[in-house]
Structure 1
Amino acid sequence: MAAGSTSLKSLDRYLYTVGGEDRIVHRFDFNTIIYATDNFSEANRILPRYGVTMYKGRLQNGQDITITQYSKAFTYKQCMNEASILVKVEHQNLMQLLGYCIHGTKVYLIYDFALNATLADMIYDPMCNLLDWDKRYKILLGVARALAGADLFRHWALVYLHRHAPIRIIHLDVQPANILIDESYNPRLSGFEVAVTTSETDCVSLDNVFGTVGYIAPEYHMTLRCSTKADVYSFGMLVFETITGKSIWNLSPLRPVEYVHKNWLEGTLSDIIDPQIDVDPVSMTKFAEIGLLCVQRLAADRPTMEEVIGMLLGTSPLTRKLARIIVKWRKSPKWPILGIPETDLGSTSLSGKKKKKKKKKKKKKYQSI
C-alpha cells in the first residue's frame, strides 16, 4: 500500500468499519495519544519490532493502554491484517483492540492492556531477576492458552486460536517480543500482523515466508505451506528460551535445537539452564523434552497445542508416548532438522499427494517483524 493520502484515507475507512456492528473500533484523536504516552517518552517506549514501535500509556480516564505505531508504508497492510483478526477474537491472553489513530503517515492501534514489558525484555536482560520459574511457567501456560481444541482446553490461548476462535488462526510469529506481560505477569499474545486464517483442512499456502527467522517451522520455510503445527514449532523454541534465559541466537554456535538436544542427550542440561531459575533438574528435563517434541523435524510428529498443554500440566497421555520417543532420541547422536517432505504439514486431512515440482523456484522473501 502506498504512503499517499488516498491510501491513508482507505486505511482510515477500513479501520473504522472493520469491526462491523458487533465490535466498534474507536477513532482516537492524536492529542489523546500524545497525552497517554507523555508525548511518546522514552520511558513509555517498548522494545521495537521490525517496522513497528510500541508504547505503553494511560488515557485521561485512567485506563491503561498499549499503542502500536506503524510508521512505514509497507506496514499498513500488516496493520490491517492485525485489526481484521483482533476484532474477531476475544480471549484473556490475547490483545483486545480498542481503536486507532492516523496522524500524518503514521498509524496507531490502541489496545486495552496495561503493559509492563515484553517477555523478550525480561528474559534477555541478564540483570533482570524478576522471572522466577513459577512466573515463567505461568507465562508459557498463558501463551498456550491463546493457541487448542478439546473443551477441556478451550480457554488456552493458542488452543483458542487453533480450534475455538470464530475463525481458525495460525499466528506464524510466536516469539518473546510478541508476548506482552502485565504487572501480575499475565501474558498477552500480540503481533498478528502476519497471522493467517485457515479452514478445517488446517493447511494454507503462502507466497512468501513471513515471521521471525529462527522461529519459522522448516516445512513452512521449504514449501511455503504451513499448518497450526508451525505455531507448535515456534512454541518449542519459546520453551528453550524460557528455560535458558537466552535468545536462541545466543545459545551456541550450533543450531538451537541441536544444542538443546546435545545437552539433553549428554545429561548436561543444568549447564544451559538459566541460573536464576531455582527448580529441580527433573522438571527442567521435562520441559526441555516438551520443547524438543514441539520442534521435531516432521510436522506430523509434533504434538498439537492441546497435547502440549496436557504435558505442561502433567495430565496428557502423551507423557507415555514421550517415554518411547526418548528411547529413539537416545539412539540418534544428531538432531535431524533438515529434509522436510513437501507434503509434511502435520494435518491428518491432507491427501498426501505431492505437488508437481516447478522448473524454477521463486526466491523466498523474509519479512521479520
Structure 2
Amino acid sequence: MFLVYNFLSGGNLETFIHQKSGVDKQWPIIYKIAIDIAQALTFLHYSCVPRIVHRDIKPSNILLDEELNAYLSDFGLARLLEVSETHATTDVAGTFGYVAPEYATTCRVSDKADVYSYGVVLLELMSGKKSLDPSFSEYGNGFTVVAWAKLLIKDGRFSEFFSPELWELGPQENLVAMLRLASSCTGETLSVRPSVKQVLEKLKQLHS
C-alpha cells in the first residue's frame, strides 16, 4: 500500500512558531492557521463515519504550504469512534504536554481530547512558547503553557502572554478572545470543554 501526500513547502507549525520572524506572526496569519486546524478537526469529528480521533495533535504534526495554509498530518495514533460511541478505552498515546488530563488518568479518549491538544497548540501559536517551555522553570517542575495562560488570565496580565510583535500589532481584543477560547479548550473536565464545532463557531466570530 502507498500513501501519497502533497508536498507542503512551508514546513511544520513547530518550526513556524519557534523559528519564523515576527513579520509572519501577525493576527491574520495566526487566525487563519487556527481556523484551518479547527476545520480539519471538525471534519474528522463530525463528517467522517466512523468518526476519527487524531490523538496526537501538536505543532510538529501540522504542516504548512507556501501560503501558510495548515494541514493535519500523522494519523498513526488515530482511533475510530462509531457515531453511538462517546469514547474509547485504550492505552494512553500522544505527546506529553498535549495529552488531555482525563485521557492520561483514565485511558478513556474522546473527541474532546483532541480539543484539549488543539487548545495547547493555540496557546503555543500565540505566545511563541513551547508547551513545556524552559522559561516556566521558575514556577516548578511540570508547569506548562496551559497553567501559565490560566495564571495570566486570572491576573488580567494579557499582554504578557503574547509575543511582543503580535500584541503590539493587535487587534488586542481579538487576541484576548482567542486566548480565552484556547484556555477553555484546555479545561480540566469534559463538561466545561467545548466541542471543536463550538470552537470553530467562536473563532469565526473573531473574523475582522
Tell me the TM-score normalised to structure 1 length. Answer: 0.51
Q: Which has the higher strand share?
A: 1
Deviations 1:141-176 (A, max 9, x none): 001111xxxxxxxxxxx1110010132100011111
Deviations 1:202-249 (A, max 9, x none): 21011x211111000011100111110000100110110111012111
Shift of 1:132: 1.8
| 2:88 matched residue in structure 1 | 204
Contact 2:124–2:145 (CA under 8 A) maintained in structure 1: no
Query: What secondary structure, in the 3-state scheme, does the structure 2 residue paired with 1:169 have?
Result: strand
Q: What are structure 2's unaligned runs of at least 5 residues?
A: 138-142
Of 3, 9, 19 in structure 2, the residue corresponding to residue 115 of structure 1 is 9
Alignment map for 1:69-80 (pairs within 5 Å): none
- Distance in 2 of aligned mates of 1:283 and 1:236: 16
| 2:193 matched residue in structure 1 | 302
1:268 corresponds to which letter in structure 2? R
Q: What are structure 1's unaligned runs of at least 5 residues?
A: 1-14, 16-99, 101-108, 147-157, 316-369
| 1:290 matched residue in structure 2 | 181
2:146 corresponds to which letter in structure 1? V
Of 50, 61, 64 in structure 2, the residue corresponding to residue 181 of structure 1 is 64
Shift of 1:119: 0.7
Q: Which has the higher helix share?
A: 2
Query: What secondary structure, in the 3-state scheme, does the structure 1 residue paired with 2:164 have?
Result: coil
Shift of 1:262: 1.1
Contact 1:144–1:159 (CA under 8 A) maintained in structure 2: yes
Shift of 1:126: 6.0
Alignment map for 1:33-182 (pairs within 5 Å): 100=2, 109-125=3-19, 127=21, 129-146=23-40, 158-182=41-65
Tell me the TM-score normalised to structure 2 length. Answer: 0.89
Query: What secondary structure, in the 3-state scheme, does the structure 2 residue paired with 1:188 have?
Result: strand
Answer with 282-291 or 226-235: which moved more: 282-291
State which structure, 1 or 2, has the greater radius of gyration over its C-alpha atoms: 1
Contact 2:130–2:145 (CA under 8 A) maintained in structure 1: no
| 1:218 matched residue in structure 2 | 101
Query: What secondary structure, in the 3-state scheme, does the structure 1 residue paired with 2:8 have?
Result: coil
**Over the residues paired in the alignment, what is the CA RMSD in angstroms?**
1.6
Number of aligned positions between the proteins = 197
Shift of 1:312: 0.8
Shift of 1:130: 2.2
Query: What secondary structure, in the 3-state scheme, does the structure 1 residue paired with 2:45 have?
Result: helix
- Larger RCO of the pair (alpha carbons < 8 Å, separation 6+): 2
Contact 1:122–1:128 (CA under 8 A) maintained in structure 2: no
Shift of 1:256: 2.1
| 1:235 matched residue in structure 2 | 118
| 2:148 matched residue in structure 1 | 259
- Distance in 1 of aligned mates of 2:196 and 2:151: 25
Contact 2:129–2:145 (CA under 8 A) maintained in structure 1: no
Deviations 1:41-99 (A, max 9, x none): xxxxxxxxxxxxxxxxxxxxxxxxxxxxxxxxxxxxxxxxxxxxxxxxxxxxxxxxxxx
Contact 2:63–2:72 (CA under 8 A) maintained in structure 1: yes
Query: What secondary structure, in the 3-state scheme, does the structure 2 residue paired with 1:172 have?
Result: coil
Identity of counterpart residues, as a percentage? 30
Please identify runs of 4+ aligned residues in structure 1 that moved more than 4 A. Answer: none
Shift of 1:128: 5.9
Q: Within the alignment, does 1:193 sit opposite 2:91 as a pair?
A: no
